[in-house]
Amino acid sequence: MMDVLSQLNHWLNTPGNEALHHAFTEFLRLVLLPARLPGIELPIMHELSEVRAMLSERVKEWNQQWEQQGLQRGRQEGIREGRQEGKREGLDAERVLLLRQTRRRFGALIAAQLQPLLAVVNDPESLAVIGEWLIDYNTGEELLQQVEQFVKQTPTN
């Protein structure tokens, strides 16, 4: 773009092209540059040489700003993904613990039947409630029945 602006400026600086020179400058300042550089405040420029000078000074600065913005967005997205992954890992750990406790209290068969039910529970508080039921119910069948009913009634699962 810098080369094109140089050539355009050279060509339009010949006598008789003043109006065209002004029109190109206004087009660049009011139409092309704002469309290509949204959110960037552009100084008032009256000559193509000013447009070229401004661009040559600011392009490096803008690139650095855009790079920083991209890095910041990347960091934010990474943090968000990390939190989601941590939440999933936390839920998985809670499920594993519940299955171990179920296996110990009611046997492997009940734990195996409970596993698919726990897989659809995505709320830590709900898993905690199920953990309390492990203590409250006397048989594995009662526990399974309560968890099945809970899973059917909970819309987020």
For residue range 96-125, what is the model confidence (pLDDT) as tens digits? Answer: 999 999 999 999 999 999 999 999 998 899
Q: Are 121 and 148 in contact (CB under 8 A)?
A: no
Domain co-membership, 57 together with 98: no
Tens digits of residue pLDDT in 10-40: 888 888 888 888 888 888 888 888 887 777 7
pTM value is: 0.46
Overall number of domains in the chain? 2
Q: What are phi and psi of 32, to 5 degrees?
A: -65, -55
| Token pair of 86 as six digits | 């941590």
* Eight-class DSSP state of 14: S
Directed axis angle between helix 48-106 and helix 124-136, to 10°?
A: 0
Q: Are 89 and 43 in contact (CB under 8 A)?
A: no
Domain co-membership, 94 together with 48: no
Domain that residue 68 falls in: 2-72
Identify whether 144 is part of a domain.
yes
